[in-house]
Structure formats: structure tokens, C-alpha cells
């Protein structure tokens, strides 16, 4: 068997370096728009669990008002601005994560990096999703995106861990493009547009 981590890293760099070059003008334009509409900071930074659960700082363009700007609106959904919702619907808010891939925090394809507080809620089988680096897109995203139940989504993540190849990664990338262009099921990985993952009650003694 080939050295999968080394090969995956080479594949990531082959994809992300030209992607950064192509999207640089778009990222600059979005950064200027975020600065004008939402002020500083331009980037949203949040700790997410990566390979083997090791934390890293995930980057996105900011889409929500800061808590002290929200006029008492405490929930994430209420802090999401119309401009921010548009950024999310087009997936433009995800572009800074290309830098996470360049740094080696993430891969192009893999289970999406979810919230750190979920780590203690996974079953041992679900926790296996962290045996590979998190990805910008993944098997769950092209198999129904956020229309999936949590059990379905996490099962697909583990299935990817067990069976991914360069050809399956290329297929997932190809299958990601059209839904993004059509804004089909494009939502975030937080609690603004997804229900909270509460764990597996059937496994509780």
C-alpha cells in the first residue's frame, strides 16, 4: 500500500495552489466587501478538531455581527446578516479555508470539521472520522449535504475514511461543483443552519 498521507498531501497541494491563484482576486473583493459591510475583523476564526482530534484554527470570511454589535440579539441566527447569508449561500465564506489546506490543517476532501464540543458526543465508531484530515468538501456533502440526519452524515464520514482513493476524491470534487453553483443545500457546519449534534442517546446506559 502506498503512503496515503504523503500522497494525499501532494494531491492537496496540486489542487490548492492553483485554486488560491485563481481565487485570489475574489478573496480580495470579498474581504473588501466584508470590511465595508461588517467592519473588522474580516475573518472568522474558530477552533475545530482536525486529524486525530488535534485542534486547529479554521478560517472563514465573517458573516455575522459580533456579539457587541448585535443590539442584544444573542443567537447566531439573529446575528447572521443578509450579506452574510448571501456569502454562505454562494460558499464564498469558505474561501479562506484554502489557506488551511495550504498549511496542512485540512485536506481538499475529507469529513467536514465540526465543532470541538462534539468530540465527547461521538460513539467510538463515529470518532473514527478524525482518522483523516478534515476537508473542504466530503462524501456527506455530495450525498445530501445538510438534508442528512446526523447518523447518516457521520456514517458517510467513516465510510470515506475506510475507502477513499484519489479517484473517489476527484469524483467528490466534481460532484461538489454543481451543487455549489446552484446553491443546493449549501449551509454551514454550525448551529445557525444545522441542528445541534447531541450525541447518541441509544448508547446511553
More confident site: 35 or 8: 35
At residue 190, the pLDDT reads 58
pLDDT digits (tens, 9 = 90+) for 97-137: 999 999 999 999 999 999 999 999 999 999 999 999 999 99
At residue 152, the pLDDT reads 94
Q: Is pLDDT of 204 > 90? A: no
DSSP helix/strand/coil, 37: helix
- Which candidate, 11, 83, 94, places its Cα nearest to that of 48? 94
Strand partners, 59: 45
Distance CA 87, CA 149 (A): 24
At residue 172, the pLDDT reads 95
- Which candidate, 75, 68, 72, 83, places its Cα nearest to that of 38? 83
pLDDT digits (tens, 9 = 90+) for 139-195: 998 887 667 899 999 999 999 999 999 999 999 999 998 877 776 655 556 555 578
Q: How confident is the model at residue 1 (pLDDT cuts 50, 70, 90)?
A: very low
At residue 5, the pLDDT reads 76
Distance CA 59, CA 44 (A): 6
- Which candidate, 61, 62, 63, 59, places its Cα nearest to that of 80? 63
Q: Is pLDDT of 24 > 70? A: yes
3-state secondary structure 152-185: HHHHHHHHHHHHCCHHHHHHHHHHHHHHHHHCCC
Distance CA 10, CA 165 (A): 13
What radius of gyration, in Å, describes the C-alpha atoms of the chain? 17
Q: Is pLDDT of 6 > 90? A: no
At residue 113, the pLDDT reads 96
Q: Is pLDDT of 197 > 80? A: yes
pLDDT digits (tens, 9 = 90+) for 65-92: 877 665 655 577 778 999 999 999 999 9
| pTM, full prediction | 0.88
Positive or negative, the CA dihedral 92, 97, 101, 107 is negative
82 Ramachandran zone, left/alpha/beta (phi>0; psi -120 to 50):
alpha
Distance CA 171, CA 167 (A): 6
At residue 205, the pLDDT reads 37
More confident site: 135 or 1: 135
Amino acid at each position: 500500500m502506498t503512503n496515503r498521507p504523503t500522497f494525499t498531501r501532494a494531491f492537496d497541494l496540486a489542487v490548492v495552489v492553483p485554486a488560491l491563484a485563481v481565487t485570489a482576486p475574489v478573496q480580495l473583493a470579498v474581504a473588501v466587501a466584508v470590511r465595508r459591510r461588517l467592519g473588522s475583523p474580516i475573518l472568522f476564526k474558530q477552533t475545530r478538531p482536525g486529524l486525530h482530534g488535534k485542534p486547529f484554527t479554521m478560517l472563514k470570511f465573517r458573516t455575522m455581527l459580533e456579539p457587541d454589535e448585535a443590539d442584544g440579539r444573542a443567537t447566531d441566527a439573529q446575528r447572521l446578516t443578509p450579506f452574510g447569508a448571501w456569502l454562505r449561500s454562494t460558499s464564498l465564506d469558505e474561501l479562506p479555508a484554502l489557506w488551511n489546506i495550504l498549511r496542512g490543517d485540512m485536506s481538499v476532501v475529507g469529513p467536514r470539521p465540526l465543532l470541538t464540543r462534539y468530540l465527547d458526543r461521538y460513539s467510538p465508531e463515529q470518532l473514527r472520522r478524525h482518522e483523516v484530515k478534515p476537508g473542504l468538501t466530503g462524501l456527506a456533502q455530495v450525498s445530501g449535504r445538510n438534508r442528512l440526519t446526523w447518523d447518516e452524515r457521520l456514517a458517510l464520514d467513516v465510510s470515506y475514511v475506510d475507502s477513499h482513493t484519489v479517484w473517489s476524491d476527484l469524483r467528490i470534487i466534481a460532484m461538489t461543483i454543481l451543487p455549489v453553483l446552484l446553491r443546493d443545500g449549501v449551509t454551514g457546519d454550525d448551529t445557525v443552519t444545522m441542528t445541534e449534534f447531541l450525541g447518541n442517546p441509544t448508547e446511553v446506559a
